[in-house]
Amino acid sequence: QVHLVESGGGVVQPGRSLRLSCAASGFTFKWYAMHWVRQAPGKGLEWVAVISDTGNEKEYADSAKGRFTISRDNFQNTVNLQMSSLTTDDTAVYYCVRGAGSGWYGRYFDYWGQGTLVTVSS
Amino acid sequence: DIQMTQSPSSLSASVGDRLTITCRASQNIGSYLNWYQQKSGKAPKFLIYSASTLQSGVPSRFSGNASGTDFTLTISSLQPADFATYYCQQTYSPPLTFGPGTKVDLK
């Protein structure tokens, strides 16, 4: 059974950094692209970043470019999101998501973690 | 970037109703359109991919269709478990944008 468990959320001051992690189990992690999707309180879903199965390809939303870095460890079966220069607009639940289907980033998001809340506040 | 719109933004319905949600892409995305269901406080659940293919385990009362850049999600007979917010998503090219969502609540 596929499990994605996020960790690392919490309260952080504006301008500071935070690192989210996602532990994957129940599938062959190195075969799948992995994504981060976030949802601000009371708002819709926003795709944040993707990393390919090998880690060689990455893409970011404009809101994340230059501030967030996605990485993965195919031995530890983890995917990370390093976030810097955080602002109040980054306050959201961050979901770790598996990308499946064709293409290097997957064509659909079939499994989601339960999410971890990041609150940026002074 | 590809923009996704949804209509309506919310609707009220009764158990047994047939309802249709529309999603429109700002440019051609082929059939790279997915649908997700999200209940309050929960992670989204994957329903449909490639515009019309049901994910395994999704009830057959859900269906998806496509016509050019317009996509629809139909629930043939609304059940109590279906009251939720529904999102479409394009995976034609990054950034992989979601629609703003359609909230379905009880009339």
Write out pLDDT tens, residues B36-78.
999 999 999 999 999 999 999 999 999 999 999 999 999 999 9
What pLDDT score was predicted for residue B75?
Answer: 98
Asked if B21 and B37 touch (Cβ cutoff 8 Å), the reply is no
pLDDT average, residue stretch B86-101 = 97
Per DSSP, what are the bridge partners of residue A106? Answer: none
Nearest to B35 by CA among A26, A4, A109: A109
Query: Could B91 and A105 be called an inter-chain contact, meaning their C-beta atoms sit closer than 8 Å?
Result: yes
pLDDT tens for A67-88 read 999 999 999 999 999 999 999 9
- d(C-alpha B4, C-alpha B18), whole Å: 23
Residue B95, both tokens: 């950034």
Q: What is the mean pLDDT of chain A?
A: 97
Cβ–Cβ of B94/A105 closer than 8 Å? yes
pLDDT at A14: 98
Q: Do residues A97 and A4 touch, judged by C-beta distance below 8 A?
A: yes
d(CA B90, CA B98): 7
What sign has the CA pseudo-torsion B78, B81, B86, B88? negative
- Chain A residues within an 8 Å CB radius of B87: 44-45
User: Would you put residue B43 in left (φ > 0), alpha (ψ -120 to 50) or beta?
Assistant: beta
Interface probe, candidates A108, A112, A116, chain B, greatest B C-beta count within 10 A: A108
- Rounded to the nearest integer, the mean pLDDT of chain B is 97
Q: Is B32 within 8 Å of A107 when comparing Cβ atoms?
A: yes
What pLDDT shows up at residue B37?
98
User: Which residue ranges in chain A fall short of pLDDT 70?
Assistant: none
Task: Give the pLDDT confidence score for residue B3 in this predicted structure.
Answer: 98
Residues of B in Cβ contact (< 8 Å) with A115? 43
Rounded to an integer, what distance in angstroms lies between the CA atom of residue B51 and that of residue B46?
Answer: 12
Cβ contact (<8 Å) for B91 and A107? yes
Please give, rounded to a whole number of angstroms, the shortest distance from the CA of A63 to a CA of chain B: 10
pLDDT confidence of residue B38: 98
